[in-house]
Amino acid sequence: MRIAVLGAGISGVTSAWYLARDGHDVTVIDRQPGPGLETSFANGAQISVSHPEPWANPWAPRLILRWLGREDAPLLFRPRADPAQWRWALGFLRECLPARTRRNTDAIANLAMYSLASLRTLREESGIDYTRSSSGILQTFFTQSDWLRAEHSARLLRSYGIEARTCSAARCVEIEPALANCGDSLHGGIHAPQDETGDAHEFVMQLAEHCRSAGVHFCFDHTIEGLEVENGNVARVRLRTGSERRGELDADAYVIALGSYSALLANAIGERLPIYPVKGYSVTLDLADDAIAPRVSITDESRRIVCSRLGNRLRIAGTAELNGFDTEVNQVRCEAILARARQLFPDLGDTASPTFWAGLRPATPSNVPIIGRARHPNLWFNTGHGTLGWTLGCGSARALASMIGGMTPDVAFPFRQP
């Protein structure tokens, strides 16, 4: 089958890989000059199977109220005259109900484990190297109330078969000695040894090369302007290159993997996708030889930031801002992330030239991605991965390829049905 994959981020390139492997003739279209240049560019680098609980949980509304109006808040709602934003926010509140949180956590946990296994196989088969580390993730708790929930969280993770152990503050420092002088009182942590880290952008670039060798065709610098429908099916995509030149591309099937922009394209042909951009930031530091920086990836639960070592770089990422499609880098929020990193690791040394970055998480209110078939029979979705697109990337794409091939994916997940 001729398949057009729309978008060359993690979701699009992994989709192309699995579809090409199944023998399809695949073309990937993206407006950027190369793969992985938008949200998949400088994320937190964590393959965090141990973090299936979505932001929408019973504790979230109270926290969001507490943070309202604070410019350095981990989660910031900037109200706009945008019905999509309000619809999303109401949907988010609904997903905070305990039964919904549990259902969403189940779905994400299953897909995350399937995805980690898929990533490991893909890595072995392709030999892709993306500054990976398999030293696990340590979630750290700096407030008593967060720490009180830790044992419950670890038990829940173990119930899914995810290795997770609570550990004392002293044990946390044994696991990651760079935490020895953290300027806050560490109450304890959860260590998930099977989690991994790696540079998502390097992964996407290398996988795109493997796709090319497998016959996938990439159309970069092509903006998708819309989908045209004929007789109930998508007939073609309308494209623009540069400011003037226009064109079209037709295929037998189409996969929407456009990150936060997926909803704009899908809504125009009557396919409602509850995806809204949730902006986040990252700060990347080049480490001096004498820097004392973590080797185990850290999730600071209390501030909602993650720190991942990528060779001689340290990536610190986090915060969430509901502010439309604005991608401007907010200095105050990046400085707050950097200040927190310095507090956690006071011996980081010179942090004079950090690289600040902002990206838009393609978030559904539940954080459960949208994978499966649209109402138009030849249109498919692999999008809406929110905070976990790198963690869920390989599994989502592999499952999608199975469905397009007429098979049932071997993972329990609420796949989209028309």
CB of 168 to ligand FAD, least distance (A): 26
Quick one: tokens of 268?
């125009």
CA atoms within 13 A on the CB side of 21: 18
Nearer to ligand FAD, 201 or 376 (CB): 201
Q: Measured between alpha carbons, how far is 164 from 166 in angstroms, rounded to an integer?
A: 7
Rg of the chain on CA atoms, in Å: 21
Nearer to ligand FAD, 57 or 383 (CB): 383
Contacts for 266 with CB less than 8 Å, ≥ 6 apart: 256, 272, 273, 374, 381
Nearer to ligand FAD, 203 or 345 (CB): 203
CB of 275 to ligand FAD, least distance (A): 9
Is residue 118 involved in binding ligand FAD (CB under 6 A)?
no
Q: Which helix (H) or strand (E) holds 396?
A: helix 389-404
x/- contact string, 16-35, with ligand FAD (CB under 6 A)?
A: -------------xxxx---
CB of 391 to ligand FAD, least distance (A): 3
CB of 47 to ligand FAD, least distance (A): 7
CB of 75 to ligand FAD, least distance (A): 12
Identify the CA nearest to 163 among candidates 125, 198, 105, 113: 113
- Supply the DSSP string of 53-122, one letter for each residue: S-S-STTHHHHHHHHTT-TT-SEEE---S-HHHHHHHHHHHHHTSHHHHHHHHHHHHHHHHHHHHHHHHH
Contact window for ligand FAD (CB under 6 A) among 140-148, 161-169, 185-193, 252-260 = 252-260
Q: If binding means CB under 6 A, how many residues of this protein chain bind ligand FAD?
A: 41
CB of 231 to ligand FAD, least distance (A): 24
Quick one: tokens of 418?
């028309």
Is residue 132 involved in binding ligand FAD (CB under 6 A)?
no
Interface residue with ligand FAD, options 188, 294, 362, 365 (CB under 6 A)? 362
Identity of residue 311: G
Quick one: tokens of 276?
């809204």
Interface residue with ligand FAD, options 8, 251, 253, 374 (CB under 6 A)? 8
Q: Could you give the strand order of the β-sheet that contains 245-249, starting from the edge strand earlier in sequence?
A: 223-230, 233-241, 245-249
Q: Which helix (H) or strand (E) holds 192?
A: strand 188-192
Stretch 203-242 residues interacting with ligand FAD (CB under 6 A) = 223-224
Report which DSSP code applies to 133. Answer: B
CB of 286 to ligand FAD, least distance (A): 19
Report which DSSP code applies to 179. Answer: G
Contact window for ligand FAD (CB under 6 A) among 246-254, 258-266, 288-296, 341-349 = 258-266
**Collapsed DSSP state (helix, strand, coil) of residue 388:** helix
x/- contact string, 371-400, with ligand FAD (CB under 6 A)?
A: ------------x-xxxxxxx---------
Is residue 44 involved in binding ligand FAD (CB under 6 A)?
yes
Sign, Cα dihedral of 52, 54, 60, 64: positive
CB of 43 to ligand FAD, least distance (A): 3
CB of 256 to ligand FAD, least distance (A): 9
Backbone angles phi, psi at 139, to 5 degrees: -85, 130
> Crossing angle, helix 98-126 and helix 83-95, to 10 degrees?
100
CB of 187 to ligand FAD, least distance (A): 23
Stretch 291-330 residues interacting with ligand FAD (CB under 6 A) = 306, 317
Stretch 133-192 residues interacting with ligand FAD (CB under 6 A) = none
Nearer to ligand FAD, 41 or 346 (CB): 41
What's the distance, Cα to Cα, between the start and end of the chain in Å?
Answer: 20
The binding site for ligand FAD (CB under 6 A) comprises: 7-12, 29-32, 37-40, 43-46, 48, 223-224, 257-259, 261, 280-282, 306, 317, 359, 361-362, 383, 385-391
